[in-house]
Chain A
């Protein structure tokens, strides 16, 4: 028999699974710690925390991550102690648990990036402090002490004895059981009680026993044939009522939980890619079919081919939807960390804040989910830091001292819309204008001409911070910058609406997926281009005289704003076919994060679903494209990268000036 070994590949796969699971566990630990603080289900939370820590402990040991193992082990001791001694769970303790989780996360980060991880003695000491605080902490891994001396019960057994149905002397059976158990320790309660006379009708009795030894042979003692049918024992467990509830819950969960399967994201991507190819194939067949139909209108065979094609198209679009669905995850995964963030930050800032999360089940593509966390964090921190006022201030202006932040996600068409709503101070356009001038972002004249709405959008400018005191959390002015760049890279949009004194609403709009997009196709000169619909605000037709020149730039009045016009023909250096020189032009109004721009195009083709093919690096030189797609006709369409185009346009303008 050969040596069993793991290849490097297998080991790295195992590690990957470990890290995915471990990060998940840390998240769950945070969640449970907050549940514990809320105090809804102390027993349940403690039990869950212990179980998660136990899993983390075992797993990190198996992979030799010593620090993780040591800390999770210590943490498990602490949780056990809290559980066993009914220690009061105060804010200090919750802080310790959360701090513990943070350290676990740090270790995870360290191990994941192959760094040398050192045990943080401070947190170990803090835990040790609690462990020694009162009573003698017991180590769950330590072997039980021999002997039953000491008298006082160190662990509690909840024993559920189910009587044999054929037993007709249940009350005497019960007294026999109680008598036997009393040799092991102290009987704390019996239900139904021995005196109640209910015993002969009961089908089970619940006994609570305090014993010094966690390995007492309870089961062996009372599993008496003829009297006892079965015995359920819970060591250290909560009360019988709690246990019963747990079982009911289990039953409820049973039907609810869908079976899950962990699959590498890569495999799904590959599948999605193939589906993408199929979509192209579908349009190719569709194209041929149209030509065939034109040629032989009466041919029955063509008609049958058309029917078959229609059927195939229907199935294909279902397939496409379903494959996309595999990549979709509930946004709850990104929302999960916010209760913790808001809690910590509001304590630090001396604010009282209630966080409400809605639409957590809204699903979003995993690749978007992975990056959406950071901008959301900035916006939420901002709301806590700058939005919600201090409790005294709130009371002074007649608001409830407790502020409220709402995170809300919902689907809207093929977009996901995330609102971050706070009932705080809101933005003050006058102050924003002043600030913009101070920072040299706008001239006084420009600032004065900004509408309130435009003024509010100033906060997305890089280097713009409105906090009078720059705080280390969100006041550096970089936060909004990150939000904006992330939104741009995701082809999403951000908007802010605010009412001074009443609060602000930040709205993020994102495409559901980045792999297949709905795009508007149009011609510029002899070339076909596309822009993602999610970036398009409106398409409008204008006459030549709608265009005005302001400061040497072509602009257009759109709604109540003035937007810059970009001639794509110039930007993309497309040879002019003379088309579009007429009196009318099409303008595609594109929203980029908070800004609007108008793109002048020659001829519109219409909307179509495009499967994005990422272009190789050597295409990167045409850096205004974000990919390409193949149409059914075999024609290649370039998908324009609006942010890059605009950036180039701005540079060009600057160069001219």
Chain B
């Protein structure tokens, strides 16, 4: 069997060694070369012909983003970003993902000797997954470019409308770009509250939400404990917390939880889907989108059995067709939709449901 050839690019000798050693622990992986900055990386690519590159973004000489542009545009090699858990690191990472990096990992934030297993597991899985991704696919979504019309007009304060519908989204690898595609295309009067679990570390989610808020007609924010959930608002689960919801009186609020990771994730899509199915049942739509693994695949089934509607992003537009695939195989998906069709489909579905629900209310 041919091993997956990996090239490690980082300006720190320690990080190069650390990442290489971790990757070498997996029999399917082989580190073929390392480079200490973007220029060397580009030089070595043609000799080493790696299948995947792990790329540090903060480097001297040619920085990571510049190198990334060349790597994805000229060499079409999938890239896993290695970023530091800082504001700057977060901004660079989001930028990098928009430019076509497949995924990212964060540099170890505690002594690696203590939890080498988690660090190693995440890195190895992400590198393996990335090796199978077609780079052109990420770029095809063109999410780097928001719709020409940008909602810069100040948004109205949420008018405190009653929350009748909830859309719950579970998404992972390739997610930031896909979310950045969907949310700006939703109308300001989108009739449902949107809860999103995007696998992302602490610190990155707030920035992600802020950036989205600047380009969307709907409001986007990082979910905070006790936030009232309004229609026309999207709430992104903060890193390292599970996102749940609860009905309080006539309204609904965000509940965050620090309970243990589910499927290796916190936030976990399964936790969100479970909570939404319990609280909103038939008034909910579950959407499972691009990402590796199977987080959310089972929870989606509970939305379906409680009377909600479930959809999955199609294989063609998924960067990694993992979570949706498992959900489909489990029979938990009612409709498979391509990324570009999701905004309109959601809007249309909610109209249907709203009218349907409206008539139901009348008949009661």
CB-nearest residue of chain B relative to A21?
Answer: B13
Contact of B117 among A3, A61, A220 (CB under 8 A): A3
Kindly state whether residue B51 has any CB partner on chain A within 8 Å. no
CB-CB under 8 A for A20 and B13, given A5-B116, A6-B113, A250-B62: yes
Interface centre among B14, B15, B36, B62 (most CB of A within 10 A): B14
Which positions 201-249 of chain A face chain B at CB distance < 8 Å? Answer: 213-217, 219-221, 223-225, 235
On whether the beta carbons of A58 and B84 are closer than 8 Å, the reply is yes
Minimum CB–CB distance for A41 against chain B, Å: 14
On whether the beta carbons of B107 and A62 are closer than 8 Å, the reply is yes
Kindly state whether residue B150 has any CB partner on chain A within 8 Å. yes
| Complex alpha-carbon distance, A617 and B184, angstroms | 78
Contact of B17 among A13, A141, A142 (CB under 8 A): A13
Stretch in contact with the other chain, from B156-164, B207-215, B279-287? B207-215
On whether the beta carbons of A4 and B91 are closer than 8 Å, the reply is no
On whether the beta carbons of A62 and B91 are closer than 8 Å, the reply is no
Stretch in contact with the other chain, from B140-148, B268-276, B299-307? B140-148
On whether the beta carbons of A144 and B210 are closer than 8 Å, the reply is yes
Interface size on A, residues (CB 8 A): 50
CB-CB under 8 A for A250 and B206, given A6-B112, A61-B110, A220-B215: no
| Complex alpha-carbon distance, A3 and B117, angstroms | 6
CB-CB under 8 A for A4 and B117, given A180-B152, A215-B91: yes
CB-CB under 8 A for A58 and B210, given A11-B113, A141-B86: no
A215 contact set on B, CB distance < 8 A: 87, 90-91, 207, 210-211
A260 contact set on B, CB distance < 8 A: 36
| Complex alpha-carbon distance, A48 and B61, angstroms | 11
CB-CB under 8 A for A142 and B87, given A220-B146, A223-B144, A223-B145: yes
Minimum CB–CB distance for B154 against chain A, Å: 10
| Complex alpha-carbon distance, A220 and B144, angstroms | 7
On whether the beta carbons of B113 and A64 are closer than 8 Å, the reply is yes
Kindly state whether residue B351 has any CB partner on chain A within 8 Å. no
CB-CB under 8 A for A253 and B110, given A4-B25, A4-B120, A21-B12: no
| Complex alpha-carbon distance, A578 and B14, angstroms | 64
| Complex alpha-carbon distance, A55 and B86, angstroms | 13
CB-nearest residue of chain A relative to B60?
Answer: A51
Minimum CB–CB distance for A52 against chain B, Å: 10
| Complex alpha-carbon distance, A1 and B26, angstroms | 10
Chain B interface SS verdict (over half): helix
| Complex alpha-carbon distance, A18 and B13, angstroms | 8
Minimum CB–CB distance for B135 against chain A, Å: 19
CB-CB under 8 A for A17 and B61, given A141-B86, A213-B210, A225-B145: no
| Complex alpha-carbon distance, A217 and B124, angstroms | 32
Kindly state whether residue B343 has any CB partner on chain A within 8 Å. no
A160 contact set on B, CB distance < 8 A: none
| Complex alpha-carbon distance, A183 and B151, angstroms | 11
B90 contact set on A, CB distance < 8 A: 215
| Complex alpha-carbon distance, A58 and B88, angstroms | 14
CB-nearest residue of chain B relative to A142?
Answer: B87
Contact of A146 among B61, B85, B145, B210 (CB under 8 A): B210
A59 contact set on B, CB distance < 8 A: 12, 14-15
Interface size class of B (residues with CB under 8 A): 35 or more
Against B, the Cβ 8 Å flags (1 = close, 0 = not) of A5-28 are 110001101100110110000000
| Complex alpha-carbon distance, A58 and B62, angstroms | 20
Kindly state whether residue A54 has any CB partner on chain B within 8 Å. yes
B116 contact set on A, CB distance < 8 A: 4-6
Contact of B21 among A6, A61, A220 (CB under 8 A): A6
Contact of A220 among B203, B206, B211 (CB under 8 A): B211
Minimum CB–CB distance for B354 against chain A, Å: 31
Minimum CB–CB distance for B179 against chain A, Å: 13
Against A, the Cβ 8 Å flags (1 = close, 0 = not) of B97-117 are 010000000011111111011
B211 contact set on A, CB distance < 8 A: 215, 217, 220
Kindly state whether residue B314 has any CB partner on chain A within 8 Å. no
| Complex alpha-carbon distance, A155 and B152, angstroms | 20
A–B complex contacts, Cβ < 8 Å, 6 sampled: A55-B12, A64-B111, A219-B98, A220-B215, A221-B214, A224-B148
Of all A-B residue pairs in the complex, the 9 with the closest CB atoms, nearest first, are A64-B111, A4-B120, A62-B108, A217-B214, A21-B13, A59-B14, A18-B14, A215-B207, A17-B17
Q: Which B residues fall within an 8 A CB radius of A? A: 11-15, 17-18, 21-22, 25, 36, 39-40, 58, 60-62, 84-88, 90-91, 95, 98, 107-114, 116-117, 120-121, 124, 144-146, 148, 150, 152, 203, 206-207, 210-211, 214-215
